[in-house]
Amino acid sequence: MNAYYNGDFGKWNINFNGDFYNKVSQNTQTAINDGKLDAESESKVRSNLYAAKLVVSGPLWKGRLSFGTEEMFTNRRNDFTQSGFSADAFNHIRQSIYAGFLQYYLNIGRMNYGAGLRYEYQKTDYYEKDVLQAEQSPSYRNWIPFLSVGYSKDNLNLAFSYRLNKYSPIYVMLQSSIDYESKYEYKSGDPHLKPQKQHSFNLSGNYKWLSFMAYYNYVLDMYMTWYKPYDEVNHPSVLLQTMASVPHSYHCGANIRVAPSFGIWYPNLTASVFYYHDNVDHLNIPEFGKNQPQFTFSMNNNLRLPNRCS
């Protein structure tokens, strides 16, 4: 169910959106291997969501200002029972998010500016068998900024931006129940996952037939899927696919593109470099060698015949 409003009061615009979502589902799984019943499970999920967002925007001085609030409340219960290949799980997660934000964009001469700030409070209550699990029920308070600067003159364009993005794990990533994927693979989540934060820096520009871009992304608590032995005593041949948080990682890169023209010949040359590094020592994953930069070169050629030849 959705409700919305959009209207103008003088030079100011007010936009409101509200949503309600409710779902009940039931899933039954039966796995047979070599003619024998290998696993049975049943999952009953009940979930609902309330969300609302209000944005007020209008002119201020030489730019445009927008501000507002955003709220989201979710409630999800998952009752999981199985035939003995893992353990029953009764998870209940309630999450509340309150946010306020402010953005301003401004053009002065050949320069353009943008800046914004968002404050977000997030509270999660995680229950197992209706008992609150304090360690898996964190609260987060975050300031989330962004900044952009641009310059434009004739055939020259330059731009720089910084942005912090925050991503919360979805419910499937937080589940403690262990699902049967195959005879040799089970799947689960990790209720200890933290929100992922990504600091992104971007620089780009172009002049006539020459363009470039460079970027650097630093990520805290990046989500990662990995495999580990499930139970070396009772299920020695089974791997468990689960989730983990990588404390810190980063990737960076740059590319340059040259696309001049010589009569009917239009060559296009691109050169790029990419580098990635992460810290997975806490997962006891062996390091087979240091990450190395990846270089890519490509060249395309196009011929454009005069109209009289077509």
- What local confidence, expressed as pLDDT, does residue 233 receive? 85
Instruction: Give residue-wise pLDDT tens across range 116-133.
Output: 999 999 999 999 999 999
- What local confidence, expressed as pLDDT, does residue 285 receive? 67
Instruction: Give residue-wise pLDDT tens across range 101-116.
Output: 999 999 999 999 999 9
- What local confidence, expressed as pLDDT, does residue 308 receive? 66
CA distance 159 to 115: 14
CA distance 116 to 118: 7
Confidence of residue 286 (pLDDT cuts 50, 70, 90): low
Confidence of residue 155 (pLDDT cuts 50, 70, 90): very high
Q: Is the pLDDT of residue 242 over 80?
A: yes
Residue in this structure with the two tokens 């699902």, named with its chain if needed: 179
CA distance 13 to 58: 6
Instruction: Give residue-wise pLDDT tens across range 184-220.
Output: 999 999 999 999 999 999 999 999 999 999 999 999 9
Q: What's the pTM value of the predicted model, to 2 decimals?
A: 0.90
Residue 110 phi, psi dihedral angles, 5° rounding: -90, 0
CA distance 169 to 221: 11
